[in-house]
């Protein structure tokens, strides 16, 4: 048998009837069995099911006594599979990335927890690991083996198990500095950590929701987001040192009595609506209040026992402020139906794209300069995905360059970010998402981007990043090049109008804008006003099931207010074939890796190698520099099939002329369609097959 092991039976002990045991022995056996069941669930549900750690790399309840000299370690995770038949204990232990003591039915800081810490300090040193973990399967804490202090990630306490990438990263950093207690990760790893943990908690909520008859998924989604936002408000007040100890907050709602928790939460919501600017999220908070307390003589939808369970799950989420992922997007992904996802797609861009495109657009913004204020705008902000990711990228860059001072925080929080959307509910979503990422919600406007009325329209912007709506509209694009009511073209022209000279933009566009012969004059006009830096082709299913429109990311720098001669520099074009999700409607994560732990089916995500070193994704690593020089690139599909095609090149401007309609489609230049002509005989044979069938 390979894989994790159940508790071994002693060779010298024969099975006995539990009735013959005294109370002490009976309780010991009962406890051992309960802990074994708890650990088994932890392995299957969390480590394997949610964090995707290979089952055969996890071992529990086997002695390994020769490596610790006393007692067995409870849980070990290694780079190598454990094989009981070959008994490769030495190889398994020499390549450990994590070790945990598991204590069932204990609390943080009690006698059993302290005993687990003592064991962890001793065993981890014997196992030559610089850290260890203690968990009661509800709360999980990482400790430095040398200092005994709790380890933090980006100044945040760790309260959950992590992916194997993060285990590697922690081990790598502590091997270099054994006294390190706070581990800084880059912006990619931070996203993966926070979103993975949040999704785990959403699964726990989904289990509780099975007992609740929400009238529809939208009510379930709003209830979840509203409940989470109540916890977040307290975090924000604490960070800004504004918490008033005389008033009720999230923490004060806790109580062993379920009825009291419901009453406390209702009082807390009422206070937020009366006394704070959080009242702008009143609709979400009222959804929580009505469902847990009832209204107009009606019984509450949610039983008080379930309310307490929901409260406890959200409390265990850990810090939400500054996590930097799209809260609304994550909740919609979990709870929305296929039809709702398609409707939601009108204002939702998948996070892994908002992240990488924000990062590429802002590559030059490394150091905060108090004498250079700049503005970032999203003209169709939806849930705020591009803005939250841009906030996170800049904050990370400033932290790395050690320029994130109070003035920089104020700049990011109050001055830098602008968002516009025609839907009021979307602006609410964006504001809450910006609150969660670390603020920056000040300049968000409900307005018609193409017929603006509010003050944002009078500004010029240094950066614009947006995924506008597509299709026929009622407003003509503001250009003399062509006459068009296409909404995406009207947005493209609006981006040009609002950019400063030298300003940079990233806009997601459908394929017609880049190849439709009707728009050839528009493309020539664009080449005269801009320096097109890059065009990135996204997979067909990039936004499925929200939409299946074939899309492209266009990056450009504004050169002039008027049309001039075409740009001279070549355009970097790249085709993304694999983004880490299955190329189908279902879009499940493929998680294929090579022997260095790099992604085999993901060109846009960063990764952590087997040495615990953080690495850039393929797209970012080659950005505006890599050229395959006309050669074929080989990659592996999600089905394990090998493919060879051209992916990247610098497109010379001299190749663009009237006869090819200034075609800017990457596939046109990298993978031109070549029809296969068949002979008359082949045609006759095909017809026979069809008729015969």
Handedness of CA 456, 320, 468, 534 (dihedral sign): positive
For range 671-693, the mean pLDDT: 78
Where among 262, 283, 315 does a domain terminate?
A: 315
Which residue, of 267, 283, 315, is where some domain finishes? 315
Residue at a domain's end among 156, 184, 212: 184
Q: If you write DSSP's letter for every residue of 524-556 in order, what string do you get?
A: HHHHHHEEEEEEEEPPTTTTTTT----EEEEEE
Q: Contact 148/156 with Cβ under 8 angstroms?
A: no
Among the listed residues 343, 304, 317, the one whose alpha carbon sits nearest the alpha carbon of residue 216: 343
User: For residue 8, what pLDDT band results from cuts at 50, 70 and 90?
Assistant: very low
CB atoms within 10 A of CB 27: 11
User: 640 or 301, which is more confident?
Assistant: 301
Number of other CB atoms surrounding residue 410 within 10 Å: 13
Asked whether residue 168 falls in the same domain as residue 27, the answer is: yes
Distance CA(531)–CA(653), nearest Å, equals 11
Residue 569, pLDDT above cutoff 80: yes
- Are 73 and 175 found together in one domain? yes
pLDDT beyond 90 at 276:
no
Distance (Å, whole) CA 237 – CA 225: 19
Instruction: Give which of 207, 421, 410 is closest to 312, Cα–Cα.
Output: 207
Nearest to 613 by CA among 189, 99, 162: 189
Do 476 and 490 form a contact (C-beta atoms < 8 A)? Answer: yes
> Cβ atoms within 10 A of the Cβ of 524, count?
17
DSSP string of 564-605, one letter each residue: -SPP-SPEEEEE---BSB-SSSS--B---B-TTS-BSSBSS-
Overall number of domains in the chain: 2
> Which band of pLDDT confidence, cut at 50, 70 and 90, is reported for residue 19?
very low
Check if the beta carbon of residue 209 is closer than 8 Å to that of residue 302.
no
Residues 177 and 198 in one domain: no
Burial class (CB in 10 A: 0-12, 13-18, 19+), 441: buried
Q: Per-residue pLDDT averaged across 669-676, rounded? A: 81
Mean pLDDT computed over 63-67:
72
Distances in whole angstroms, Cα of residue 663 to Cα of each of 82, 520, 626? 55, 7, 22
Rounded to whole angstroms, the Cα distance separating 104 from 28 reads: 12
pLDDT for residue 1: 35
pLDDT top residue among 318 and 245 = 245
What's the average model confidence in pLDDT over 466-481?
92
Q: How far apart are CA 607 and CA 227, in angstroms?
A: 33
Q: Given this model, what pLDDT does residue 10 score?
A: 39
What pLDDT does 22 receive? 56
DSSP letter at 363 equals T
Phi, psi of 648 (to 5 degrees): -150, 145
Same domain? 96 vs 202: no
The answer to whether 293 touches 408, Cβ cutoff 8 Å, is no
Q: In this structure, are residues 395 and 424 in contact, taking their beta carbons and an 8 Å threshold? A: no
Q: Helices (DSSP H) in 277-378: which residue ranges? A: 282-293, 304-315, 327-335, 338-344, 351-361
Preceding amide of 545 cis, omega within 30: yes
The reported pLDDT for the residue numbered 321 is 64
- Which of 21, 131, 38 is closest to 77 using CA atoms? 131
Backbone conformation region of residue 550, classed left if phi is above 0, alpha if psi is from -120 to 50, else beta: beta
* Judgement on whether residues 167 and 36 belong to the same structural domain of the protein: yes
Could you say which DSSP state residue 211 is in? T
Q: What is the mean pLDDT of residues 293-308?
A: 91
List the CATH number of the domain containing 151.
Answer: 3.90.1570.30
Strongest mean pLDDT among 59-73, 97-111, 258-272, 633-647 = 258-272
- Radius of gyration of the CA atoms of the chain, in A: 28
Q: Which two tokens stand for residue 454?
A: 């509010």
Residue 194 has pLDDT above 70, yes or no: no
Write out pLDDT tens, residues 599-623: 888 999 888 888 888 889 999 999 9
Q: State whether residue 650 is helix, strand or coil.
A: strand
Question: Side-chain half-sphere of 632: how many Cα atoms within 13 Å?
Answer: 7
Residues 6+ apart with CB under 8 A from 554: 505, 506, 507, 508, 509, 514, 532, 534, 535
> Is residue 664, in this structure, part of any structural domain at all?
no
Between 658 and 137, name the one with better pLDDT.
658
pLDDT confidence of 220, banded at 50, 70, 90?
A: very high
634 within 8 A of 643, measured Cβ to Cβ: yes
**Same domain? 222 vs 149:** no
pLDDT (0 to 100) of residue 429? 83
Residues 180 and 200 in one domain: no
What DSSP state is assigned to residue 415? I
pLDDT at 229: 87
Domain assignment of residue 126, yes or no = yes
Q: How many CB atoms lie within 10 A of CB 5?
A: 15
The answer to whether residue 576 is domain-embedded is no
d(CA 178, CA 144) in angstroms, rounded, equals 8
pLDDT band of residue 665 (cuts 50, 70, 90) is: very high
Burial class of 464 by CB neighbour count within 10 A (0 to 12, 13 to 18, 19+): buried
- Residues 154, 109: one domain? yes
Specify whether the backbone of 234 is left (phi greater than 0), alpha (psi in -120 to 50) or beta: alpha
User: Picking from 28-32, 293-297, 369-373, which range would have the lowest pLDDT averaged per residue?
Assistant: 28-32
8-state DSSP, 628: -
The residue assigned the tokens 């995707």 is 52
139 lies in some domain = yes
Q: What is the average pLDDT score of the chain?
A: 86
Q: What is the DSSP letter of 132?
A: E
What 8-state DSSP symbol labels residue 2? B
Same domain, yes or no: 27 and 170: yes
First vs last C-alpha separation in the chain: 49
Q: Is residue 413 pLDDT above 80, yes or no? A: yes
Q: Residue 357 and residue 498: Cα distance in Å, rounded?
A: 20
- State whether 214 and 175 are in the same domain: no
Say if residues 93 and 64 touch (Cβ distance below 8 Å): yes
Q: How many residues does the chain have?
A: 693
Sequence-ordered list of residues with C-beta below 8 angstroms from that of 61, at least 6 positions apart, any chain: 4, 5, 6, 7, 8, 36, 39, 72, 74
Lowest-confidence range among 190-204, 212-226, 661-675? Answer: 190-204
Question: 271 is in which domain, residue-wise?
Answer: 194-315
Would you say residue 492 has pLDDT above 60? yes
**Which of 651, 634, 420, 639 lies closest to 537, judged by CA?**
651
Looking at the structure, do residues 228 and 289 belong to the same domain, yes or no? yes
CA dist 671 and 249 (Å) reads 59
Contact 190, 324 (CB under 8 A): yes
509 close to 488: Cβ distance less than 8 angstroms: yes
Cα gap 197→380, rounded to integer Å = 29
pTM strictly above 0.95: no
- The lowest-confidence range among 60-64, 460-464, 483-487, 599-603 is 60-64
Give the residue among 346, 337, 335 at the shortest CA–CA distance from 543.
Answer: 346
**Is residue 555 pLDDT above 90, yes or no?**
yes
Task: State the pLDDT confidence band at 594, using cuts at 50, 70 and 90.
Answer: confident
User: Can you give the pLDDT at residue 670?
Assistant: 95
Query: 466-489 burial, b for 16+ CB within 10 Å, e for fewer?
Result: bbbebeebeeebebebbebebbbb
User: Can you list the alpha helix ranges (DSSP code H) found in 69-216?
Assistant: 89-94, 111-126, 164-176, 187-209
Q: List phi, psi (to 5°) of 370.
A: -65, -20
Spatial distance between the Cα atoms of 383 and 325, rounded to a whole number of angstroms: 11
CB 541 within 8 A of CB 670: no
Question: In terms of domains, do 84 and 228 share one?
Answer: no
In this prediction, residues 214-219 reach a mean pLDDT of 90
Report yes or no on 304 lying in a domain.
yes
């Amino acid at each position: 048998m390979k894989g994790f092991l159940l508790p071994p039976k002693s060779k010298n002990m024969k099975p006995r009837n539990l009735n013959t045991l005294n109370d002490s022995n009976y309780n010991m056996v009962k406890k051992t069995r309960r802990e074994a069941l708890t650990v088994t669930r932890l392995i299957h549900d969390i480590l394997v099911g949610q964090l995707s750690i290979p089952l055969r790399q996890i071992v529990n309840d086997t002695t390994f006594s020769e490596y610790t000299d006393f007692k067995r370690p409870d849980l070990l995770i290694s780079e190598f599979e454990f094989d009981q038949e070959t008994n490769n204990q030495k190889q398994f232990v020499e390549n450990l990335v994590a070790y945990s003591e598991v204590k069932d039915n204990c609390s943080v800081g009690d006698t059993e927890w302290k005993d687990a810490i003592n064991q962890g300090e001793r065993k981890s040193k014997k196992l030559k690991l610089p850290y260890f973990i203690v968990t009661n399967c509800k709360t999980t804490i990482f400790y430095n083996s040398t200092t005994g202090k709790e380890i933090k990630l980006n100044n945040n306490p760790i309260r959950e198990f992590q992916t194997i990438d993060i285990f590697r990263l922690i081990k790598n950093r502590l091997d270099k500095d054994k006294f390190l207690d706070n581990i800084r990760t880059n912006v990619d790893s931070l996203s993966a950590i926070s979103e993975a943990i949040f999704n785990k908690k959403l699964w726990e909520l989904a289990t509780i929701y099975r007992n609740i008859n929400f009238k529809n998924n939208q009510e379930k989604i709003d209830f979840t987001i509203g409940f989470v936002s109540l916890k977040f408000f307290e975090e924000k007040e604490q960070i800004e040192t504004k918490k008033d100890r005389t008033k009720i907050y999230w923490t004060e709602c806790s109580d062993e009595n379920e009825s009291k928790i419901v009453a406390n939460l209702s009082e807390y919501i009422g206070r937020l609506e009366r006394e704070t600017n959080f009242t702008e999220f009143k609709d979400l908070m009222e959804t929580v209040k009505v469902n847990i307390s009832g209204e107009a003589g009606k019984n509450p939808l949610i039983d008080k026992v379930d309310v307490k369970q929901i409260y406890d799950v959200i409390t265990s989420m850990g810090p939400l402020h500054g996590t930097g992922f799209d809260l609304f997007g994550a909740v919609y992904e979990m709870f929305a139906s296929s039809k709702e996802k398609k409707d939601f797609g009108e204002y939702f861009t998948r996070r892994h794209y908002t992240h990488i495109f924000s990062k590429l657009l802002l590559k030059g913004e490394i150091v905060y300069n108090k004498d250079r204020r700049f503005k970032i705008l999203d003209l169709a902000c939806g849930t705020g995905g591009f803005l939250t990711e841009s906030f996170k990228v800049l904050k990370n860059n400033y932290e790395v360059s050690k320029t994130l001072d109070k003035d920089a925080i104020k700049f990011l929080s109050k001055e830098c970010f602008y968002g516009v959307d025609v839907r009021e509910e979307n602006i609410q979503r964006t504001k809450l998402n910006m609150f969660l990422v670390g603020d920056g919600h000040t300049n968000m406007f409900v307005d018609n981007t193409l017929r603006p009325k509010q003050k944002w329209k009078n500004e010029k912007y240094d950066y614009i990043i947006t995924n506008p709506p597509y299709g026929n509209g009622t407003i003509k694009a503001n250009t003399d090049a062509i006459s068009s009511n296409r909404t995406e073209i009207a947005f493209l022209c609006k981006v040009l109008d609002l950019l400063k000279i030298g300003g940079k933009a990233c806009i997601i566009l459908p394929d017609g804008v880049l190849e439709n012969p009707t728009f050839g004059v528009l493309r020539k006009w664009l080449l005269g006003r801009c320096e097109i830096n890059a065009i990135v082709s996204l997979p067909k299913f990039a936004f499925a099931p929200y939409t299946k429109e074939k899309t492209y990311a266009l990056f450009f720098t504004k050169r002039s207010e008027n049309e001039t001669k075409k740009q001279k520099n070549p355009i970097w074009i790249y085709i993304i074939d694999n983004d880490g999700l299955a190329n189908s409607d279902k879009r499940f994560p493929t998680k294929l890796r090579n022997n260095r732990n790099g992604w085999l089916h993901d060109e846009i995500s960063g990764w952590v190698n087997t040495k615990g070193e953080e690495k850039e994704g393929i797209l970012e690593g080659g950005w505006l520099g890599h050229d395959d020089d006309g050669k074929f690139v080989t990659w592996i599909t999600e089905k394990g099939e090998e493919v060879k095609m051209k992916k990247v090149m610098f497109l010379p401007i001299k190749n663009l002329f009237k006869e090819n309609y200034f075609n800017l489609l990457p596939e046109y230049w990298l993978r031109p369609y070549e029809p296969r002509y068949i002979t008359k005989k082949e045609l006759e044979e095909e017809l026979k097959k069809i008729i015969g069938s």
